[in-house]
Amino acid sequence: MRDEMKRTMFELFGVGSEDDKVLAAGGKKPVAKPEPVKTAPVQAPVQPVVKAKAASYLAAGTSLEGTLRSDGDVEIAGAFKGEIITTGTVTLRSVIQSNITAGSLNLIGCTLTGDVKVTGTVTVSEDSQVTGNINAKELLCAGKVNGDLEITGGTTLEEKAQISGGLVTGTLAVVKGAVIRGGVEIKAFSGPAKQEPKQEPKQEPKQEPKQEPKQEHKQEHKQEHKQEHKAN
């Protein structure tokens, strides 16, 4: 009804909007399309970038002498003589003359001469041999070790393992066929003992010595008194 009145007004007086023109022409009033709702793009969470520590590698046929320091893993297949210090894992595959300080140690077909100190596990393959002392948390041995061993955790000796030296360990597992030439001590290792704070000895207040009255003064006073008495 309302649209018909608008059409009539437009036809008679030419008054109306663009929509009224459409209605006068016999069309239908266009329906306004809803505008699309704009949504902010969802950003994926930013993953932190973890930088991998660089590994050091000495290839077969290469020789090196000196001190090798690294923050990452070290693998040596060539000849090395000196000292290896790292917090990572050391893998040795050749003849090595070196003291080693590392996170863990893998000996694969290796002949090592030197002392070993690692915070993790030492693995000695069947075709490997160590001449030196070993200090580690765990020991997995299938080869030969000539030296004293101090293992704070567990020691596992495989069938072909041969130990020539003293062994101190937290636990011991021995497969039939393994040989130990030396003393064995099973010891419960504990962390470093807490040092109690030193108590300083209490200082007693110094007592000043009491000064006794001088007797000389008394004697002089008596002598004067006697003399006065005689005079009287």
* Residue-wise pLDDT tens digits, 103-113: 999 999 999 99
**Do 79 and 119 reside in the same domain of the chain?**
yes
Determine, yes or no, domain membership for 91: yes
**Do 180 and 106 reside in the same domain of the chain?**
yes
Determine, yes or no, domain membership for 220: no
Determine, yes or no, domain membership for 114: yes
Our measurement of the distance from residue 169's CA atom to the centroid of its chain's CA atoms, rounded to an integer in Å, reads 23
Q: What are the helix and strand counts (H, E) for the chain?
A: 3, 19
What is the number of structural domains in the chain?
A: 2
**Do 63 and 143 reside in the same domain of the chain?**
yes
**Do 25 and 85 reside in the same domain of the chain?**
no
**Do 67 and 178 reside in the same domain of the chain?**
yes
**Do 79 and 22 reside in the same domain of the chain?**
no
Q: Give how far Cα 134 sits from Cα of 119, 142, 175, Å.
A: 11, 15, 20
HSE at residue 173, side-chain half, CA atoms within 13 A, is: 10
Determine, yes or no, domain membership for 200: no
**Do 127 and 170 reside in the same domain of the chain?**
yes
Determine, yes or no, domain membership for 67: yes
- Rounded-to-integer distance, Cα 77 and Cα 144, Å: 20
**Do 132 and 23 reside in the same domain of the chain?**
no
Determine, yes or no, domain membership for 97: yes
Determine, yes or no, domain membership for 17: yes
Determine, yes or no, domain membership for 47: no
Around Cβ 114, how many Cβ atoms within 10 Å?
A: 18
**Do 171 and 90 reside in the same domain of the chain?**
yes
**Do 65 and 16 reside in the same domain of the chain?**
no
One digit per residue, the tens of pLDDT, for the chain of length 232 reads 555 665 665 555 555 555 555 555 555 555 556 666 666 676 667 666 556 677 899 999 999 999 999 999 999 999 999 999 999 999 999 999 999 999 999 999 999 999 999 999 999 999 999 999 999 999 999 999 999 999 999 999 999 999 999 999 999 999 999 999 999 999 998 764 445 555 665 666 566 656 655 555 545 555 555 555 444 4
What residue numbers bound the domain in which 177 lies? 59-186
